[in-house]
Chain A
Amino acid sequence: MHSDGLKLDGICKDYAGLRVFNSLSLQFNPGEISLLIGANGSGKSTLLRIAIGLLTPDSGTVHRSSAAVGYVGHLNSLYMQLSVAENLDFWSSILPEAENIETLLMRWGLTKYRNRRVAGLSKGIQTRVGLARALCASQKTILLDEPTASLDDTSVGGLITALQEKAQSGAVVVIASHDLARLLPIATRVVLLRDGIVASDAQCGNHTELDALLTQYQGNNR
Protein backbone atom coordinates (compact mmCIF):
# COMPACT_ATOMS: atom_id res chain seq x y z
CA MET A 1 0.00 0.00 0.00
CA HIS A 2 1.36 3.47 -0.88
CA SER A 3 1.57 5.95 1.96
CA ASP A 4 1.92 9.72 1.76
CA GLY A 5 5.49 10.92 1.65
CA LEU A 6 8.48 8.63 1.45
CA LYS A 7 8.68 5.29 3.22
CA LEU A 8 11.63 2.88 3.32
CA ASP A 9 10.81 -0.47 4.81
CA GLY A 10 13.30 -3.20 5.83
CA ILE A 11 16.06 -1.97 3.52
CA CYS A 12 19.14 -4.22 3.33
CA LYS A 13 22.04 -3.33 1.08
CA ASP A 14 25.54 -4.71 0.67
CA TYR A 15 28.00 -2.58 -1.21
CA ALA A 16 31.40 -3.87 -2.34
CA GLY A 17 31.19 -6.71 0.19
CA LEU A 18 30.24 -4.46 3.10
CA ARG A 19 26.83 -4.35 4.76
CA VAL A 20 25.61 -0.75 4.46
CA PHE A 21 22.04 -1.22 5.71
CA ASN A 22 20.65 -3.94 7.87
CA SER A 23 16.84 -3.89 7.71
CA LEU A 24 16.58 -0.11 7.89
CA SER A 25 13.09 1.39 8.08
CA LEU A 26 12.27 5.10 7.91
CA GLN A 27 9.30 7.25 7.00
CA PHE A 28 9.56 10.89 5.86
CA ASN A 29 6.32 12.84 5.97
CA PRO A 30 5.00 15.68 3.79
CA GLY A 31 5.78 19.12 5.19
CA GLU A 32 8.83 17.90 7.15
CA ILE A 33 12.38 19.09 6.54
CA SER A 34 14.49 16.13 7.69
CA LEU A 35 18.20 16.38 8.23
CA LEU A 36 20.04 13.09 7.72
CA ILE A 37 23.35 13.04 9.58
CA GLY A 38 26.04 10.48 10.30
CA ALA A 39 29.76 9.92 10.06
CA ASN A 40 31.43 9.51 6.67
CA GLY A 41 30.49 6.12 5.23
CA SER A 42 27.38 5.80 7.38
CA GLY A 43 25.26 5.41 4.23
CA LYS A 44 23.54 8.80 3.88
CA SER A 45 24.18 9.11 0.13
CA THR A 46 23.36 5.43 -0.45
CA LEU A 47 20.08 5.85 1.39
CA LEU A 48 19.10 8.81 -0.81
CA ARG A 49 20.05 6.89 -3.98
CA ILE A 50 17.95 3.92 -2.88
CA ALA A 51 15.04 6.24 -2.05
CA ILE A 52 14.96 7.67 -5.58
CA GLY A 53 15.55 4.37 -7.36
CA LEU A 54 19.11 4.96 -8.58
CA LEU A 55 20.21 1.99 -6.46
CA THR A 56 18.22 -1.17 -5.91
CA PRO A 57 18.16 -2.54 -2.35
CA ASP A 58 19.03 -6.22 -1.85
CA SER A 59 15.77 -6.52 0.05
CA GLY A 60 13.11 -4.20 1.39
CA THR A 61 10.75 -1.75 -0.28
CA VAL A 62 10.55 1.95 -1.08
CA HIS A 63 7.21 3.74 -1.39
CA ARG A 64 7.01 7.25 -2.77
CA SER A 65 3.76 9.15 -3.13
CA SER A 66 5.05 10.97 -6.24
CA ALA A 67 7.09 9.65 -9.17
CA ALA A 68 9.05 12.81 -10.01
CA VAL A 69 11.77 13.71 -7.50
CA GLY A 70 13.93 16.79 -7.08
CA TYR A 71 17.41 15.42 -6.38
CA VAL A 72 20.91 16.83 -6.24
CA GLY A 73 23.67 14.35 -5.45
CA HIS A 74 27.40 14.95 -5.26
CA LEU A 75 27.18 16.09 -8.90
CA ASN A 76 24.67 18.58 -10.26
CA SER A 77 23.26 16.67 -13.28
CA LEU A 78 23.99 19.51 -15.70
CA TYR A 79 25.16 19.50 -19.30
CA MET A 80 28.55 21.15 -19.15
CA GLN A 81 28.57 22.08 -22.86
CA LEU A 82 25.31 24.04 -22.61
CA SER A 83 24.73 27.47 -21.11
CA VAL A 84 22.92 28.06 -17.82
CA ALA A 85 19.75 29.19 -19.66
CA GLU A 86 19.87 26.22 -22.05
CA ASN A 87 20.23 23.80 -19.13
CA LEU A 88 17.31 25.33 -17.22
CA ASP A 89 15.22 25.48 -20.41
CA PHE A 90 15.84 21.78 -21.02
CA TRP A 91 15.14 20.63 -17.47
CA SER A 92 12.07 22.80 -17.05
CA SER A 93 10.64 21.42 -20.30
CA ILE A 94 10.81 17.80 -19.10
CA LEU A 95 9.57 18.42 -15.54
CA PRO A 96 5.93 18.94 -14.60
CA GLU A 97 4.69 22.47 -13.85
CA ALA A 98 8.15 23.98 -13.91
CA GLU A 99 8.76 27.66 -13.24
CA ASN A 100 9.79 29.72 -16.24
CA ILE A 101 13.47 30.37 -16.84
CA GLU A 102 13.42 34.09 -16.05
CA THR A 103 11.92 33.43 -12.61
CA LEU A 104 14.51 30.71 -11.94
CA LEU A 105 17.42 32.89 -13.03
CA MET A 106 16.21 35.72 -10.77
CA ARG A 107 15.46 33.49 -7.79
CA TRP A 108 18.89 31.82 -7.83
CA GLY A 109 20.88 34.95 -8.74
CA LEU A 110 21.93 33.49 -12.09
CA THR A 111 20.77 36.23 -14.47
CA LYS A 112 24.28 37.47 -15.25
CA TYR A 113 25.45 33.90 -15.96
CA ARG A 114 22.54 32.98 -18.24
CA ASN A 115 24.61 32.73 -21.45
CA ARG A 116 27.73 31.28 -19.84
CA ARG A 117 28.56 27.62 -20.41
CA VAL A 118 28.25 25.59 -17.22
CA ALA A 119 31.75 24.12 -17.73
CA GLY A 120 33.27 27.60 -17.30
CA LEU A 121 31.50 28.42 -14.02
CA SER A 122 32.84 28.08 -10.47
CA LYS A 123 31.77 25.09 -8.38
CA GLY A 124 29.52 27.29 -6.23
CA ILE A 125 27.64 28.73 -9.24
CA GLN A 126 27.32 25.24 -10.75
CA THR A 127 25.75 24.08 -7.48
CA ARG A 128 23.26 26.98 -7.67
CA VAL A 129 22.32 25.97 -11.23
CA GLY A 130 21.98 22.36 -10.05
CA LEU A 131 19.67 23.42 -7.21
CA ALA A 132 17.63 25.61 -9.60
CA ARG A 133 17.30 22.54 -11.85
CA ALA A 134 16.24 20.22 -9.04
CA LEU A 135 13.79 22.59 -7.38
CA CYS A 136 12.28 24.19 -10.51
CA ALA A 137 9.15 22.07 -10.69
CA SER A 138 6.33 20.85 -8.49
CA GLN A 139 7.98 17.64 -7.26
CA LYS A 140 6.60 16.43 -3.94
CA THR A 141 9.84 14.69 -2.92
CA ILE A 142 13.07 16.69 -2.56
CA LEU A 143 16.31 14.88 -1.69
CA LEU A 144 19.58 16.79 -1.41
CA ASP A 145 23.03 15.38 -0.69
CA GLU A 146 25.43 17.90 0.88
CA PRO A 147 23.78 20.84 -0.91
CA THR A 148 25.62 23.54 1.06
CA ALA A 149 29.14 22.13 0.57
CA SER A 150 30.24 24.78 -1.94
CA LEU A 151 27.68 27.53 -1.27
CA ASP A 152 28.29 30.91 0.35
CA ASP A 153 25.94 32.20 3.05
CA THR A 154 23.83 34.25 0.62
CA SER A 155 23.23 31.21 -1.59
CA VAL A 156 22.40 29.07 1.45
CA GLY A 157 19.83 31.73 2.40
CA GLY A 158 18.18 31.32 -1.02
CA LEU A 159 18.25 27.53 -0.67
CA ILE A 160 16.66 27.68 2.79
CA THR A 161 13.83 29.90 1.51
CA ALA A 162 13.19 27.54 -1.41
CA LEU A 163 13.16 24.47 0.86
CA GLN A 164 10.79 26.08 3.35
CA GLU A 165 8.40 26.97 0.48
CA LYS A 166 8.55 23.37 -0.76
CA ALA A 167 7.84 21.98 2.71
CA GLN A 168 4.93 24.40 3.18
CA SER A 169 3.46 23.20 -0.11
CA GLY A 170 3.43 19.65 1.29
CA ALA A 171 6.67 18.26 -0.13
CA VAL A 172 8.90 15.75 1.65
CA VAL A 173 12.33 17.37 2.08
CA VAL A 174 15.33 15.26 3.11
CA ILE A 175 18.83 16.73 3.33
CA ALA A 176 21.95 14.64 3.96
CA SER A 177 24.57 16.96 5.38
CA HIS A 178 27.25 17.64 7.97
CA ASP A 179 26.43 21.35 7.91
CA LEU A 180 24.45 21.49 11.16
CA ALA A 181 25.29 25.14 11.76
CA ARG A 182 23.43 26.34 8.68
CA LEU A 183 20.75 23.67 8.25
CA LEU A 184 19.69 22.71 11.78
CA PRO A 185 17.72 25.97 12.23
CA ILE A 186 15.32 25.02 9.40
CA ALA A 187 15.09 21.28 10.11
CA THR A 188 11.97 19.91 11.74
CA ARG A 189 13.52 16.49 12.32
CA VAL A 190 17.03 15.02 12.57
CA VAL A 191 17.89 11.39 11.81
CA LEU A 192 21.26 9.94 12.83
CA LEU A 193 22.56 6.95 10.87
CA ARG A 194 25.18 4.62 12.30
CA ASP A 195 26.32 1.10 11.37
CA GLY A 196 23.50 0.61 8.87
CA ILE A 197 20.65 1.46 11.20
CA VAL A 198 18.82 4.53 12.48
CA ALA A 199 20.79 5.23 15.68
CA SER A 200 18.55 8.11 16.71
CA ASP A 201 15.57 10.04 15.36
CA ALA A 202 14.51 13.31 16.97
CA GLN A 203 11.90 15.99 16.30
CA CYS A 204 13.50 19.43 16.53
CA GLY A 205 10.67 20.62 18.79
CA ASN A 206 11.73 18.09 21.42
CA HIS A 207 14.90 19.64 22.81
CA THR A 208 15.74 16.76 25.15
CA GLU A 209 15.66 14.22 22.29
CA LEU A 210 17.55 16.54 19.95
CA ASP A 211 20.27 17.32 22.48
CA ALA A 212 20.74 13.59 23.14
CA LEU A 213 21.02 12.91 19.39
CA LEU A 214 23.53 15.70 18.86
CA THR A 215 25.61 14.55 21.82
CA GLN A 216 25.60 11.03 20.35
CA TYR A 217 26.61 12.38 16.89
CA GLN A 218 29.41 14.55 18.25
CA GLY A 219 30.62 11.63 20.39
CA ASN A 220 30.79 9.43 17.27
CA ASN A 221 32.77 12.03 15.37
CA ARG A 222 35.45 12.40 18.02
Chain B
Amino acid sequence: MIFVTLLRKDLLIELRGREVFAVTVGLSLMLAVVAAFGIGTAFLNPPQLSAVFPAIAWLIFIFAATVGLGRSLEAETQDAAIEGLLVAGVSPPQIYSAKVFSNSLVLCLGQLIGMCLLALLLAINLSDAWSALFLISALVVFGYSALATLLTALCATSSLRGVLLPLILLPVIAPLFFSAIELTHEALENGRLALDSPWLSLLVGLDVVYFLLGLNLYGAAIKE
Protein backbone atom coordinates (compact mmCIF):
# COMPACT_ATOMS: atom_id res chain seq x y z
CA MET B 1 0.00 0.00 0.00
CA ILE B 2 1.57 3.26 -1.17
CA PHE B 3 0.31 5.33 1.78
CA VAL B 4 2.12 3.07 4.27
CA THR B 5 5.31 3.12 2.17
CA LEU B 6 5.22 6.94 2.00
CA LEU B 7 4.48 7.24 5.73
CA ARG B 8 7.34 4.87 6.61
CA LYS B 9 9.71 6.89 4.38
CA ASP B 10 8.64 10.22 5.93
CA LEU B 11 9.11 8.87 9.45
CA LEU B 12 12.49 7.36 8.55
CA ILE B 13 13.69 10.71 7.16
CA GLU B 14 12.49 12.43 10.36
CA LEU B 15 14.20 9.78 12.47
CA ARG B 16 17.49 10.42 10.60
CA GLY B 17 17.37 14.21 10.60
CA ARG B 18 15.01 14.87 13.55
CA GLU B 19 14.51 18.32 12.04
CA VAL B 20 10.84 18.83 12.91
CA PHE B 21 11.05 17.02 16.26
CA ALA B 22 14.28 18.63 17.45
CA VAL B 23 13.17 22.16 16.54
CA THR B 24 9.67 21.71 18.00
CA VAL B 25 10.82 20.14 21.27
CA GLY B 26 13.84 22.41 21.63
CA LEU B 27 11.82 25.58 21.14
CA SER B 28 8.98 24.26 23.35
CA LEU B 29 11.40 23.57 26.19
CA MET B 30 13.04 26.98 25.95
CA LEU B 31 9.72 28.80 25.72
CA ALA B 32 8.28 26.75 28.60
CA VAL B 33 11.19 27.77 30.82
CA VAL B 34 10.84 31.45 29.85
CA ALA B 35 7.05 31.38 30.31
CA ALA B 36 7.33 29.62 33.70
CA PHE B 37 9.89 32.19 34.84
CA GLY B 38 7.66 35.09 33.73
CA ILE B 39 4.57 33.63 35.36
CA GLY B 40 6.55 32.84 38.52
CA THR B 41 7.34 36.52 38.97
CA ALA B 42 3.61 37.35 38.81
CA PHE B 43 2.90 35.29 41.99
CA LEU B 44 -0.30 33.73 40.61
CA ASN B 45 -2.22 31.35 42.87
CA PRO B 46 -2.91 27.73 41.72
CA PRO B 47 -6.41 28.41 40.25
CA GLN B 48 -5.04 31.39 38.33
CA LEU B 49 -2.13 29.26 37.08
CA SER B 50 -4.57 26.58 35.87
CA ALA B 51 -6.55 29.26 34.07
CA VAL B 52 -3.58 30.62 32.10
CA PHE B 53 -1.89 27.25 31.53
CA PRO B 54 -3.87 26.14 28.40
CA ALA B 55 -3.28 29.40 26.52
CA ILE B 56 0.45 29.39 27.27
CA ALA B 57 0.83 25.69 26.46
CA TRP B 58 -0.87 26.02 23.06
CA LEU B 59 0.86 29.30 22.24
CA ILE B 60 4.20 27.60 22.82
CA PHE B 61 3.16 24.66 20.63
CA ILE B 62 1.97 26.78 17.72
CA PHE B 63 5.08 28.93 17.73
CA ALA B 64 7.46 25.96 18.01
CA ALA B 65 5.60 23.79 15.49
CA THR B 66 5.40 26.56 12.90
CA VAL B 67 9.16 27.00 13.02
CA GLY B 68 9.68 23.21 13.01
CA LEU B 69 7.36 22.46 10.10
CA GLY B 70 8.90 25.18 7.93
CA ARG B 71 11.66 22.73 6.98
CA SER B 72 9.49 19.64 6.67
CA LEU B 73 9.25 19.77 2.87
CA GLU B 74 12.99 20.21 2.40
CA ALA B 75 13.64 16.47 2.08
CA GLU B 76 11.29 16.40 -0.91
CA THR B 77 12.58 19.53 -2.65
CA GLN B 78 16.33 19.29 -1.95
CA ASP B 79 16.94 16.79 -4.80
CA ALA B 80 13.50 17.08 -6.46
CA ALA B 81 12.33 13.79 -4.91
CA ILE B 82 8.75 15.04 -5.04
CA GLU B 83 9.03 15.18 -8.86
CA GLY B 84 10.13 11.56 -8.83
CA LEU B 85 7.02 10.66 -6.84
CA LEU B 86 4.71 12.48 -9.26
CA VAL B 87 6.40 10.95 -12.30
CA ALA B 88 6.14 7.49 -10.70
CA GLY B 89 2.38 7.94 -10.63
CA VAL B 90 1.99 8.70 -6.89
CA SER B 91 -0.92 11.10 -6.52
CA PRO B 92 -0.60 14.40 -4.60
CA PRO B 93 -3.36 13.36 -2.13
CA GLN B 94 -1.33 10.23 -1.25
CA ILE B 95 1.82 12.32 -0.70
CA TYR B 96 -0.18 14.84 1.35
CA SER B 97 -1.92 12.23 3.53
CA ALA B 98 1.35 10.54 4.44
CA LYS B 99 2.94 13.90 5.29
CA VAL B 100 0.00 14.95 7.47
CA PHE B 101 0.10 11.70 9.45
CA SER B 102 3.88 11.69 9.89
CA ASN B 103 3.91 15.38 10.88
CA SER B 104 1.03 14.71 13.30
CA LEU B 105 2.88 11.85 15.00
CA VAL B 106 6.07 13.86 15.41
CA LEU B 107 4.34 17.08 16.50
CA CYS B 108 2.02 15.26 18.92
CA LEU B 109 5.03 13.78 20.67
CA GLY B 110 6.71 17.20 20.77
CA GLN B 111 3.54 18.87 22.04
CA LEU B 112 3.07 16.38 24.87
CA ILE B 113 6.71 16.75 25.97
CA GLY B 114 6.41 20.57 25.93
CA MET B 115 3.10 20.54 27.79
CA CYS B 116 4.42 18.15 30.46
CA LEU B 117 7.49 20.30 31.07
CA LEU B 118 5.41 23.47 31.36
CA ALA B 119 3.04 21.71 33.79
CA LEU B 120 6.03 20.51 35.81
CA LEU B 121 7.53 24.00 35.99
CA LEU B 122 4.18 25.55 37.00
CA ALA B 123 3.36 22.71 39.44
CA ILE B 124 0.11 21.86 37.64
CA ASN B 125 -1.19 18.33 38.03
CA LEU B 126 -2.11 16.82 34.65
CA SER B 127 -2.50 13.21 35.83
CA ASP B 128 -6.29 13.43 36.39
CA ALA B 129 -6.91 14.69 32.87
CA TRP B 130 -4.23 12.71 31.08
CA SER B 131 -6.40 10.72 28.66
CA ALA B 132 -8.54 13.78 27.81
CA LEU B 133 -5.45 15.90 27.17
CA PHE B 134 -3.96 13.20 24.95
CA LEU B 135 -7.11 13.08 22.81
CA ILE B 136 -7.31 16.89 22.59
CA SER B 137 -3.65 17.04 21.58
CA ALA B 138 -4.15 14.43 18.89
CA LEU B 139 -7.14 16.27 17.40
CA VAL B 140 -5.53 19.72 17.54
CA VAL B 141 -2.20 18.54 16.17
CA PHE B 142 -3.92 16.68 13.31
CA GLY B 143 -5.85 19.81 12.27
CA TYR B 144 -2.75 21.93 12.63
CA SER B 145 -0.67 19.48 10.53
CA ALA B 146 -3.37 19.26 7.86
CA LEU B 147 -3.31 23.02 7.31
CA ALA B 148 0.39 23.64 7.93
CA THR B 149 1.45 20.83 5.55
CA LEU B 150 -0.60 22.43 2.76
CA LEU B 151 0.62 25.96 3.47
CA THR B 152 4.26 24.83 3.76
CA ALA B 153 3.99 23.49 0.20
CA LEU B 154 2.32 26.70 -1.00
CA CYS B 155 5.10 28.83 0.49
CA ALA B 156 7.96 26.50 -0.52
CA THR B 157 8.91 28.34 -3.71
CA SER B 158 8.76 31.82 -2.17
CA SER B 159 11.98 33.51 -1.11
CA LEU B 160 10.01 34.89 1.85
CA ARG B 161 8.81 31.45 3.03
CA GLY B 162 10.35 31.92 6.50
CA VAL B 163 7.98 34.78 7.29
CA LEU B 164 5.20 33.93 4.85
CA LEU B 165 4.20 30.67 6.54
CA PRO B 166 3.46 32.15 10.00
CA LEU B 167 1.79 35.20 8.43
CA ILE B 168 -0.65 33.03 6.49
CA LEU B 169 -0.98 30.18 8.97
CA LEU B 170 -1.59 31.98 12.26
CA PRO B 171 -4.79 33.85 11.28
CA VAL B 172 -6.27 30.76 9.62
CA ILE B 173 -5.39 28.48 12.52
CA ALA B 174 -7.02 30.79 15.12
CA PRO B 175 -10.32 28.86 15.50
CA LEU B 176 -8.36 25.64 16.10
CA PHE B 177 -6.24 27.45 18.68
CA PHE B 178 -9.34 28.77 20.53
CA SER B 179 -10.91 25.28 20.57
CA ALA B 180 -7.67 23.82 21.93
CA ILE B 181 -7.52 26.35 24.77
CA GLU B 182 -11.18 25.94 25.75
CA LEU B 183 -11.11 22.13 25.65
CA THR B 184 -7.85 21.95 27.61
CA HIS B 185 -9.32 24.30 30.20
CA GLU B 186 -12.46 22.14 30.51
CA ALA B 187 -10.36 18.97 30.74
CA LEU B 188 -8.23 20.40 33.55
CA GLU B 189 -11.33 21.54 35.45
CA ASN B 190 -13.40 18.35 35.04
CA GLY B 191 -10.71 15.72 34.50
CA ARG B 192 -12.40 14.46 31.33
CA LEU B 193 -13.15 15.44 27.78
CA ALA B 194 -16.52 17.22 27.52
CA LEU B 195 -18.07 15.26 24.64
CA ASP B 196 -21.04 17.63 24.41
CA SER B 197 -18.84 20.72 24.18
CA PRO B 198 -19.41 22.87 21.08
CA TRP B 199 -15.64 23.43 21.04
CA LEU B 200 -15.12 19.71 20.45
CA SER B 201 -17.58 19.77 17.54
CA LEU B 202 -15.77 22.80 16.13
CA LEU B 203 -12.39 21.07 16.52
CA VAL B 204 -13.51 17.88 14.75
CA GLY B 205 -15.19 19.95 12.03
CA LEU B 206 -12.03 22.00 11.46
CA ASP B 207 -9.94 18.81 11.26
CA VAL B 208 -12.21 17.48 8.52
CA VAL B 209 -12.34 20.79 6.62
CA TYR B 210 -8.57 21.39 6.76
CA PHE B 211 -7.81 17.81 5.68
CA LEU B 212 -10.27 17.89 2.77
CA LEU B 213 -8.90 21.27 1.72
CA GLY B 214 -5.38 19.85 1.72
CA LEU B 215 -6.37 16.74 -0.24
CA ASN B 216 -7.87 18.93 -2.96
CA LEU B 217 -5.27 21.71 -3.11
CA TYR B 218 -1.97 19.92 -2.46
CA GLY B 219 -1.55 18.97 -6.13
CA ALA B 220 -1.77 22.61 -7.20
CA ALA B 221 0.59 23.63 -4.39
CA ILE B 222 3.42 21.29 -5.39
CA LYS B 223 3.18 21.49 -9.18
CA GLU B 224 5.28 23.91 -11.28
- List the interface of chain A (C-beta within 8 A of B): 52-56, 67-69, 71, 73-82, 86, 90-91, 93-95, 117-118, 126, 133-134
Q: Are A133 and B84 CB-contacts (below 8 A) given A55-B224, A79-B9, A93-B5?
A: yes
Distance (whole angstroms) from the CB of A40 to the closest CB of chain B = 20
Q: How far is the CB of B84 from chain A (nearest CB, A)?
A: 3
**A77 adjacent to B84 (CB under 8 Å):** yes
Chain B residues with a Cβ closer than 8 Å to the other chain, count: 24
Contact partner of B84 (CB less than 8 A), chosen from A67, A91, A93, is A91
B81 x A86 contact (CB < 8 A):
no
Chain B residue numbers with a CB within 8 Å of A134 are 84
A63 to chain B, nearest CB (A): 16
Number of A-B residue pairs, CB cutoff 8 Å, is 73
Contact assessment for B86 and A94 in the assembled complex, using a CB-CB cutoff below 8 Å: no
User: Can you name the residue of chain A whose Cβ is closest to the Cβ of B77?
Assistant: A75
What is B's interface to A at a CB cutoff of 8 Å? 2, 5-6, 9, 12-13, 16-17, 75, 78-90, 223-224
Task: Give the docked Cα–Cα distance between A68 and B6 (Å).
Answer: 17
Known: A68-B87, A69-B88, A81-B16. 9 other contacts (CB 8 A): A71-B87, A73-B83, A77-B81, A77-B82, A77-B87, A78-B79, A94-B6, A95-B88, A117-B16
Say whether chain A's binding surface is mostly helix, strand, loop, or mixed. loop
Residues of B near A82 (CB, < 8 A) are 9, 12-13, 16
Some 13 contacts from A to B, beta carbons below 8 A apart, are A53-B87, A56-B223, A69-B87, A73-B83, A75-B80, A75-B83, A76-B80, A81-B16, A81-B75, A90-B9, A91-B88, A118-B79, A134-B84
